[in-house]
Amino acid sequence: MDIMNEKVKKIIEFMDKNSIDAVLIAKNPNVYYISGASPLAGGYILITGESATLYVPELEYEMAKEESNIPVEKFKKMDEFYKALEGIKSLGIESSLPYGFIEELKKKANIKEFKKVDDVIRDMRIIKSEKEIKIIEKACEIADKAVMAAIEEITEGKKEREVAAKVEYLMKMNGAEKPAFDTIIASGYRSALPHGVASDKRIERGDLVVIDLGALYQHYNSDITRTIVVGSPNEKQKEIYEIVLEAQKKAVESAKPGITAKELDSIARNIIAEYGYGEYFNHSLGHGVGLEVHEWPRVSQYDETVLREGMVITIEPGIYIPKIGGVRIEDTILITKNGSKRLTKTERELI
């Protein structure tokens, strides 16, 4: 029995334990995780009894058959798919399923009861297999190269967007399917915006520039941030850089099986707060990375997940002073048996 069937088996166990008739998987990363197929126009895995079938719109049929590890059926319109649900009263679903779709399932497929299956899928996906780790390492390698290229590309007078265009091109030429997310090249006052996607702003001398990018490679993501200064840094820039660097290094060193996500967040947060910049670190320390660029665990004050070997997370503290500028340093790391290992490897001492 191959790994794909092991995943279906775990879902069937969940069905038995919770006395539900079937499970419907609709979220793209989950459909890929279970079937190996990733229909662009969407697809639905229906698990009933002991079998799993992937249903796709007609135009995805040929490709899905090529990719899928489970049987594939096609449908012309949704009503044909609803027929496959006949007789099912209680259905396991993902909590991301749209409200409108739930209404249709109630009305057209006569489903009476819904039960969330998020936890069973999270528990599988949160621990990466050796094969998954190899792919993520490659995604990180592509991101490392892109960050180095960005650092070379960033010069006075250039537009943020031009730098982003170049590094995204390189990522794709290096095998990435696409950027893991909109590349952030945020310079000067824009570096204080944690999500400052590359704009038409021109980069100026003296600017802090936050470079935050990732590659999607064979369905898996990477995520890295580096911050540089164009020209020589001033004292303030050096000061906040050193603090963020200390917090990032300490958190990476502290990451290991047994510590909770919340504790790890606190380690970095406390360092930044001790230097008096607590209010300027306005996001969580990190997040899981895998088929989604933001997944479990959330490395934040609100997630008490105990870290385990095989988890892949980011560590990305930052300090953002509105109108002035910001610094963020981020690596994607793997939780190992006794500690952690940085999967993104670009040098961190850049200012």
Kindly list the residues in this chain that would bind its own copies in the complex (CB under 8 A). 39-41, 57-63, 77, 93-103, 114, 116, 118, 161-162, 164-166, 168-169, 172-173, 175, 177-179, 182, 192-197, 200, 282-283, 302, 320, 322
User: Token pair 């008096």 is at which residue?
Assistant: 276
Token pair listed for 117: 């299956």
Task: List, in sequence order, every residue forming a beta bridge with 75; answer none if it has no partner.
Answer: 57
Q: Round to whole Å and give the CA distance between 67 and 5.
A: 15
Pick 253 or 279: Cβ nearer its own copies: 279
Closest approach, Cβ 168 to its own copies, in A, equals 7
Pick 234 or 282: Cβ nearer its own copies: 282
Closest approach, Cβ 103 to its own copies, in A, equals 7
Closest approach, Cβ 113 to its own copies, in A, equals 13
Q: How many CB atoms lie within 10 A of CB 41?
A: 9
Pick 144 or 316: Cβ nearer its own copies: 316
Q: Round to whole Å and give the CA distance between 190 and 37.
A: 39
User: Token pair 């840094």 is at which residue?
Assistant: 233
Instruction: Tell the burial category of 215 from Cβ atoms under 10 Å away from its Cβ (0-12, 13-18, 19+).
Output: buried
Pick 148 or 256: Cβ nearer its own copies: 148
User: Token pair 């002073």 is at which residue?
Assistant: 321
From residue 67, give the alpha-carbon distance in Å to each of 31, 32, 71, 133, 325: 12, 9, 10, 21, 46
Token pair listed for 86: 């006949």
Helix axes 261-274, 235-254, angle to 10 degrees: 150
223 is in an annotated binding site: yes
Pick 77 or 131: Cβ nearer its own copies: 77
330 is in an annotated binding site: yes
Q: Do 262 and 300 form a contact (C-beta atoms < 8 A)?
A: yes
Pick 330 or 334: Cβ nearer its own copies: 330
Q: Round to whole Å and give the CA distance between 327 and 265.
A: 17
Closest approach, Cβ 111 to its own copies, in A, equals 12
Closest approach, Cβ 309 to its own copies, in A, equals 28
Closest approach, Cβ 100 to its own copies, in A, equals 3
How many residues comprise the chain? 351
Task: List, in sequence order, every residue forming a beta bridge with 335; answer none if it has no partner.
Answer: 340
Closest approach, Cβ 40 to its own copies, in A, equals 4
Closest approach, Cβ 193 to its own copies, in A, equals 5
In this structure, the strands spanning 44-48 and 22-25 are antiparallel
Pick 104 or 309: Cβ nearer its own copies: 104
In this structure, the strands spanning 51-57 and 113-116 are unpaired
From 194, 142, 168, select the one nearest 344 (Cα to Cα): 142
Pick 316 or 335: Cβ nearer its own copies: 316
- Residue ranges of the binding site for Co(2+): 212, 223, 287, 316, 330
Task: Enumerate the known binding-site residues.
Answer: 212, 223, 287, 316, 330
